[in-house]
Structure 1
Amino acid sequence: MAKVSFDDIEVGMMRSYSQTITDADVKTFAGLSGDNNPVHMSDEYAEKSQFKKRIAHGMISSSFFSALFGKELPGEGCVYVGQNLRFLRPVYLNDTVTAEVTVTKKDEIKRRVFFKTVCYVSGKIVIVGDAELYVPEPA
C-alpha cells in the first residue's frame, strides 16, 4: 500500500485507477447490492431501452474512488465522511473506467482531506463528484 501521511498530503495531489467492467462484475454487484434492474441484467430489456445495450451499475465505477482512498491517497486507516456523485454518461459492459481523485483542500484541525472525484471512459467524463475523508492520527 502506498499510504501518504496526512502531513505530506498537498492540494493538487492526484491518483488514478483503471479497470474494465465485465459481465461477471455486474452480476456480482447485483448479487451483493440486490439491484437486479433489467437494464443491467437483461440484453433483451436493455436493447429496448434508451441505452440500446446493458449498462453497468453506476456504483461499480464510483466504488473505484474508495479503492484509491483506502490503498493510495490517503491510504489505509482513512474513513469516508461524504461523497456526492453525478452520473453523466452510461458505462457499458467491457468499458474501461479510469477513476481519478485530486486533493482540493485540507483541514489540518479536523484532519479532513477533500477531493474532486471523476471517472472517465475513453476520455469522456461519466461520473463527477466530491469526497471528504478523515485521516486518523497514526497509531
Structure 2
Amino acid sequence: MFTKKYFEEFEVGQTRSTLGRTITETDIVMHAGQTGDFFPHHMDAEWCKTQAFKQRIAHGTLIFSVAVGMTASVINEVAMTYGYERLRFIRPVFIGDTIRVQITISDKQPHKKPAFGLVTEKVEVLNQNDELVMVCEHLLLTEKSADE
C-alpha cells in the first residue's frame, strides 16, 4: 500500500501493532547461512542443553530483521528510514516463539534540511507471553507538507 504521510501528520503517542509471526528452525538456519553466524547458541541443540537456556536461541539480528519487516506494511512515499538507535535484546527468542511488534511515535524534531523533519518510532518486540524481547528506535526522515 502506498501513501503520503507528511511530518506534520505524525503525532507523538500514536501507536500501531503488527500481527504475530512464529520463529522457526528454518528462520534460524537461513539467517545463519546469510550472515555466516553459525555460533553454537543458534545451531547446536546438544551443546545448548548444557547452557543456561537449555535450547537454541534465535540470532538477535534475525529478530531485528523480522521485526523491521513486520512493521513495513505501508510504503510512505515522503519518508525514508534514517537509521536505528538504542537497539537492545532484552530476552532470548526460541524456536516456536511468536513475536509481534508495537510501534509508538515517541518524538518529532526538525531536521537541518528545512524541508524535512525527523520522526522517532519506539519499536517494541513482544513474545507470545507479552514479554519484551527487543527494543529500538527507528528514525524516519520525513518530508514536511508543502502547505506549511
Aligned-residue offset at 1:129: 2.4
What letter is aligned with 1:90? P
Instruction: Judge conservation of contact 1:64–1:99 (CA < 8 Å) in 2.
Output: no
TM-score, scaled to structure 1: 0.84
Instruction: Give the whole-Å Cα distance in 2 for the aligned partners of 1:4 and 1:15.
Output: 17
Cα distance in 2 between the residues matched to 1:23 and 1:12:
36
Partner of 1:112: 118
Q: What is the DSSP-based 3-state SS (H/G/I as helix, E as strand, rest coil) of the residue aligned with 2:99?
A: strand
Asked if residue 132 in structure 1 is aligned to residue 116 in structure 2, the reply is: no
| Structure 2: 5+ residue stretches without partners | none
Say if 1:134 and 1:27 are closer, same or farther in 2 by CA, change over 3 A. same
The two structures, once aligned, show a CA RMSD in angstroms of 2.3
Aligned sequence identity (%): 31
Q: CA deviation at 1:67?
A: 2.3
Q: What is the TM-score normalised by the length of structure 2?
A: 0.79
Aligned length: 137
1:21-32 equivalences under 5 Å are 21-32=23-34
Tell me what 2:5 maps to.
5
Is 1:123 aligned to 2:130, yes or no?
yes
Matches within 5 A, 1:1-139: 1=1, 3=3, 5-6=5-6, 7-17=8-18, 18-68=20-70, 70-72=72-74, 75=76, 78-109=80-111, 110-121=116-127, 122-136=129-143
Distance 2:117 2:73 in 1: 18
Deviation of 1:46 after TM superposition, in Å, equals 1.1
What is the one-letter code of the residue matched to 2:117? R
Distance 1:61 1:2, change over 3 A: farther
Q: Partner letter of residue 5 of structure 1?
A: K
Any conservation in 1 of the 2:22–2:99 contact (CA below 8 Å)?
A: yes
Larger Rg: 2
Q: Matched residues in 2 for 1:8 and 1:136: separation?
A: 10
Q: Which runs of 5+ in 1 are unaligned?
A: none
Deviations 1:64-116 (A, max 9, x none): 442255433x7455123232212111100010011211101112444211011
